[in-house]
Amino acid sequence: MSDFKTSDDGLLQVSALDAGYGDLQILTDVDMNVDDGEYVTIVGPNGAGKSTVMKSVFGLTTYMDGEIEFRGDEIQGSNPEDIIHLGLSYVPQNGNIFESLTVRENLEMGAYILDSVPEDQIQAVYDRFPILEERSEQEAGTMSGGQRQMLAMGRALMLDPDLLMLDEPSAGLAPDLVEEMFDRIDRINEAGTSVLMVEQNAKEALRRCDRGYVLVNGENRYMDSGEALLGDEQVRQDFLGG
Amino acid sequence: MGASATTARGRELLARLGVAVTLGGAVLLLIDLLAQLARVDLWIIGGELAFSQLMNYLWTGLTLGLIIGLAGVGLSLTYSILNFANFAHGDYLTLGAFSGWSVAYVIAGLGTIDLASLILVDAPSSNVGASVTNTPVAVVVGLVVAIVVTVALGLALDRAVYKPMRNSEGISLLIASIGVAFILRYLAALIFGTGRRGITAPSEIPSMTVLGVQVNAHQLTILVVALVAMMAIHLLLQRTKIGKAMRAMADNRDLARITGIPTERMITATWVLGSGLAGASGYMLVLARGTLGFNDGYLLLLLIFAAVILGGIGSVYGAIVGGLLIGITSRVALVWVPGEFGRPVAFGLMILFLLFRPSGLFGGVETA
């Protein structure tokens, strides 16, 4: 077990990962793990490679070296289309809804890999985000930032994934909605879904998560419980603005 | 007043001037049209135009527009899902037309006319007597064959040319498609020859007069087939899982991939639909004109592009509406300009339209 892992047989295991885009290497030797039911946050300065970790898990980067395991199966270098079958869902920061499709069609696409539309799961998403039921026939692109983010999460929850990966879920939200968004993520995690989240709003994210990673220049810098990271003088000064 | 405010004001004035000139022009044309219909002749305004002639332009423009629209749907779909403008699309129409009419000729003329001249669509059209009423089975089977052959052609070309280039830039694919266009066009010329030939037998096409317009059975066939096809496309895209997934992929390809939508299967479905519509359009273009030449699809491609751009590139419904506008404009323009200028007028309309609405009629609506 490396210094940056808490277990070697968790849900998601990233080991000594090198990855990037084309010839450009972004991540060097990154270790990371998410255990069953855990809520893990990745923080760090801009350009640290936070999003690249998630994209790499979903096969959207150029894989170079190392391992990514999900439930013990090696998935590094897999085709993005196949990852969702394993029980992982991913909400990218941008372009995370089908704007020209209706709200309901977006949710249907979330369950594309199933043979038929899972009405009970759509209802479950509606129960979690009632505004989506009200807007079910509306074109998704016409909704507000907060509603779009809910739809993006709802789409990702359609297959009831074991691990939900969220890239900057609070980005672009009005300040009063940010708190609400974090509350929703808490509830998703409490219901048993593991969460891996990248957040710019580092303090709030660390307050709420079980564990956090600080990534700098594409490398692991710190790993500890959210509380411990918030309490660490060095981390506070370097990454949390004092 | 700051420089930027001055610029903004200047732009606004220019825009207003543009609107004024355009509206003024439109009003003048309308007055002229009414004057012509009323047989008034005042200096540059007016002249003589029979009402039935205007209706005839509208009707033939409508049938041409339906064909352009159907072909445009295919072009628009491949553009939005594969991210390149397929310059070979027009030649898909030509190949569809030749293959379909070749089979229609064989069915219609088998036993009475030399087989080789039937297969090469070379037999005298009056001897074959092909028309939707005289040889209905041949015409219908020909349409099906045109669709099937063009689908096979589209899939084969994707396999051979476009699939190996899947991750290339749109511009490389576009240039490759120009190459494909040349190959297809001269393949058609090599097999069938370069001469324009009559295909349908004019004497065998029944027609009637509605509101002073000659409406023939082939134009009605185009109307029915096009409307059915458009309704089918609409239902496919809005109601079926594969249709919704095609729209999702056109909308946001990366998100479609991480949602588990199988990219290659969607691309195949896009080619099947786009090529099939191209084959049907090419076949029906012959129903509209009665003749066929190896250049026909290529020549129509410019109007198809105009329709797709006018409608908002990437939009299926935009392509249909754009097709109708372009088709009707190119015919109604004959009120004011000689025949060979119908095409430039259609392009003029497109350019004028884009000045006011740069993203096209349905632009930004994507495929939905």
Q: What is the DSSP letter of B165?
A: G
* Contact between A218 and A52 (Cβ < 8 Å): yes
Q: Does A139 touch chain B (CB under 8 A)?
A: yes
Binary contact (B260, A99; C-beta < 8 A): no
Which ipTM was obtained for this model? 0.92
Quick: pLDDT tens for A1-10: 678 888 888 8
Quick: pLDDT tens for B61-80: 999 999 999 999 999 998 98
pLDDT at B223 over 50: yes
Quick: pLDDT tens for B122-159: 988 888 889 988 999 999 999 999 999 999 999 999 99
Q: How many residues does chain A have?
A: 242
Q: Which of B247, B260, B262 sits opposite A101 (nearest CB)?
A: B247
Provide the 10 A C-beta neighbour count for residue A50. 26
**Å from B158 to nearest chain A CA?**
21
Q: What is the DSSP letter of A10?
A: S
Task: Please give the residue that has the higher pLDDT: either B233 or B350.
Answer: B233
- At residue B270, φ and ψ (nearest 5 deg) are -65, -45
User: Tokens 């059209």 — which residue?
Assistant: B125
**Å from A186 to nearest chain B CA?**
23
- Mark out chain B residues that contact chain A at CB-CB < 8 A: 241, 244-245, 247-248, 250-252, 254-263, 365-368
Average pLDDT score over residue span A194-220 = 94
Write down the pLDDT at residue B365. Answer: 47
Residue spans of alpha helices (H) in chain B: 3-37, 51-82, 89-109, 115-119, 125-128, 136-157, 170-192, 217-239, 241-251, 253-258, 263-289, 296-311, 316-332, 342-356
Nearest of A177, A182, A179 to residue A195 by alpha carbon: A182
Q: Does A96 touch chain B (CB under 8 A)?
A: yes
Q: Does A94 touch chain B (CB under 8 A)?
A: no
- CA–CA separation, A91 vs A166, rounded Å? 5
Quick: pLDDT tens for A20-39: 999 999 999 999 999 999 99
Assign B43 a pLDDT band (cuts: 50, 70, 90).
low
- At residue B92, φ and ψ (nearest 5 deg) are -65, -40
Query: What CATH number does domain A1-87+162-176+192-242 carry, 1.10.10.10, 3.20.20.70, 3.90.550.10, 3.40.50.300?
Result: 3.40.50.300
Binary contact (B368, A95; C-beta < 8 A): no
Binary contact (A155, B259; C-beta < 8 A): yes
Helix axes B89-109, B170-192, angle to 10 degrees: 30
CA nearest to A104 within chain B: B244
Domain regions of chain A by residue span: 1-87+162-176+192-242, 94-160
CA nearest to A61 within chain B: B254
Q: Does A114 touch chain B (CB under 8 A)?
A: no
